[in-house]
Chains A and B, each alone.
Chain A
Amino acid sequence: MKTDMQEIKDQAAAQKGEQEDVLIDICGLQKSFGKNAVLRGIDTKICRGEKVAIIGPSGSGKSTFLRCLNLLEEPTEGNIYFEGEDIVHTKHINECRRKMGMVFQHFNLFNNLTVIENIMFAPVKLAKQRLKKQKAHYRWQKFKRFFGAKGEELSAPNDSVAKIEKAAKDRAMQLLARIGLADKASVYPSTLSGGQRQRIAIVRALAMNPKVMLFDEPTSALDPEMVGEVLELIKELADEGMTMVIVTHEMGFAREVATRVLFMADGKIAEQGPPAQIFGAPQNARLRDFLSKVL
């Protein structure tokens, strides 16, 4: 039995959620490696359509924070709610990860697959898995019906492996054409430049139609001349309304694209706000010190 007070509270929370349209809710997130505490309690909400840039000195836990968001690092303490689901304790973490695209500093394209296979691999594999489950379910229903059980309406899965592959390939080619690398579809990643690889890594994450994109220093491992093309693509995505969380050292980019900037220091959010405020009128002493060094 819920008490009246609780009900009211729940309603209020639901209303608030609707208003802000929270996508990821992070509560008291802590992470330590052995005795080394990297994150010391982070509370923040990421709303749909928001572009959050995370800045801060190295060792402040930016990357760890981002990696905790899709459980590549398991938090020591605290909860993360993605679309209302507690992903720290869920058993369906793989399903949650599919809705979050991640782009790494070192690209991490699959070296044993060609560019197009890199993009197609996960969508095809997962669609096939789904198809298999559907078929098994269909067979089971048929089997039950054979023995006189009344079940739900029967319908054979109308997908096929060939169809799935065709659809994924079309989508991959479309994405490649968008970044102007359609001619590189059948080469291996090792023959490409850093900028090309990173753009393909972004597109690979996009092929899963994620609800949020997590960028972990996407331009830090690139030659200066290649940074532009990658940032351009990220900016395009931002303009299309994709929700994104970007850990970056490109202050100009953060200022231009982000709707909110988080400044992290010593495993905590030291200051946050719109870029104009963070870069224009920083309050925190650490932030002022940091900005004076990087700008």
Chain B
Amino acid sequence: MFFETLWELVTSSKYWGTILEGFYTTVIIACGAAVLGLALGIIVAVVKIAAKKNKKLKFFEVICDLYVSIIRGTPVALQLFILAFGILTIRGFPLEITAIIAFGINSGAYVAESLRGGIQSVDAGQDEAARSLGLSGMQSMRYIIVPQAIKSVIPAIGNELIALLKETSIVSMIGITDLTFAAKIIGAGHELANYLVPMLFVALFYLAVVYLLIFFIRMIERHFQQSEQHADERKLEKCRIRMEKRLRAIDERYMKECTNGEN
């Protein structure tokens, strides 16, 4: 029964079309929101850090604090509703854009907090040392603080992106056919009349994208970890393992040749 339904789903081009369309919508919304969220997050974090040293920016700091606390203090579904039904109620305004803006604003608050946390986690002595050598605050930030903060920020940002991708599944609440909603359509009575199969099938799509994201995050992390502790030792260890493998291969070949010779 289960496999029959699965077979029907996989072989029907109609169902594939619905799923791929939903997948496309989900990816577009997630990507758009990620770009908007990162941009917003960077701006808010920069303002917050700059305001610490410069009292003139106090006003902007208050705005940023308000933004972060309101966004983090209310559910994302509510924010989506307010934007879709309360603010961007222009007839014909593409709903996908509304979703991108809503999720972008939401994710910006979280990104800002993790960026700020990362920069504050760098020892204050690093900045002091840079300033004592006569470098400007900007130079110290750009060449000393940020490169060290990135290492602790990347995993947090990665988590935020993964969460964002999965959170986009609630856009069906404002009537967008995303990947999750596509599964619901396919499962309805006059289509497959089975919810379990399409939903499990769609889950694989989400899993695949999340794994891809994790893979990229790992790669970036590794790239920035090079200057971390004992980088040289790690390289040596890798080299040693490679050499051992090669030696073992030579040994094996030698043994084989010996036994061949005996035969």
Residues of chain A touching chain B, judged by Cβ–Cβ distance below 8 Å, are: 70, 72, 94-98, 100-102, 104, 106, 108-113, 121-122, 125-126, 187-188, 190-191, 201, 204-205, 208
Contacts and interface: CB of A to CB of B under 8 A. Distances in A.
B134 A72 contact: no
Given A190-B230, A205-B133, 12 more contacts: A70-B132, A72-B132, A94-B134, A102-B129, A108-B125, A108-B126, A110-B126, A110-B129, A111-B148, A188-B227, A188-B228, A204-B133
Contacts, number: 73
B147 interface: yes
B133 A122 contact: yes
Contacts of B139: 125
Between B129, B130, B133, B229, the greatest number of chain A beta carbons within 10 A of the residue's beta carbon is seen for B133
Contacts of A190: 228-230
Contact of A104 (B128, B136, B228, B230): B128
Contacts of A188: 227-229, 231-232
B144 interface: yes
Between A97, A101, A102, A112, the greatest number of chain B beta carbons within 10 A of the residue's beta carbon is seen for A112
A81 B206 CA distance: 65
A205 B147 CA distance: 22
Contacts of A191: 229-230, 232
A188 B226 CA distance: 10
B243 to A, nearest CB: 22
Given A110-B144, A112-B147, A112-B148, A72 B131 contact: yes
B interface residue count range (under 10 / 10 to 19 / 20 to 34 / 35 or more): 20 to 34
B143 interface: yes
A240 B136 CA distance: 30
A97 B128 CA distance: 11
A208 B133 contact: yes
B123 interface: yes
A189 to B, nearest CB: 10
Interface string B127-164: 01111111110010001100110000000000000000
Contact of B227 (A102, A106, A112, A204): A112
A96 B131 CA distance: 11
A1 to B, nearest CB: 38
A191 B229 CA distance: 7
Nearest to A70: B132
Contacts of A187: 232
8 contacts: A94-B135, A95-B134, A98-B133, A102-B129, A102-B132, A110-B126, A204-B133, A205-B132
Contacts of B130: 110, 122
B134 A98 contact: yes
Given A112-B148, A191-B230, A104 B129 contact: yes
A19 B189 CA distance: 101
Interface string B192-233: 000000000000000000000000000000000001111110
Contacts of B148: 111-112
B228 to A, nearest CB: 8
A172 B228 CA distance: 23
A108 B133 contact: no
Contacts of B228: 188, 190
Contacts of B229: 188, 190-191
Contact of A125 (B143, B227, B231): B143
Contacts of B123: 106, 108
A125 B136 CA distance: 11
B43 to A, nearest CB: 24
B229 to A, nearest CB: 5
Contacts of A98: 133-134
Nearest to A207: B133
B231 to A, nearest CB: 7
A67 to B, nearest CB: 8
B49 to A, nearest CB: 18
A104 B131 CA distance: 12
Given A188-B227, A191-B230, A97 B125 contact: no
Contacts of A111: 126, 148, 227
Nearest to B151: A112
Contact of B128 (A72, A121, A125, A204): A72
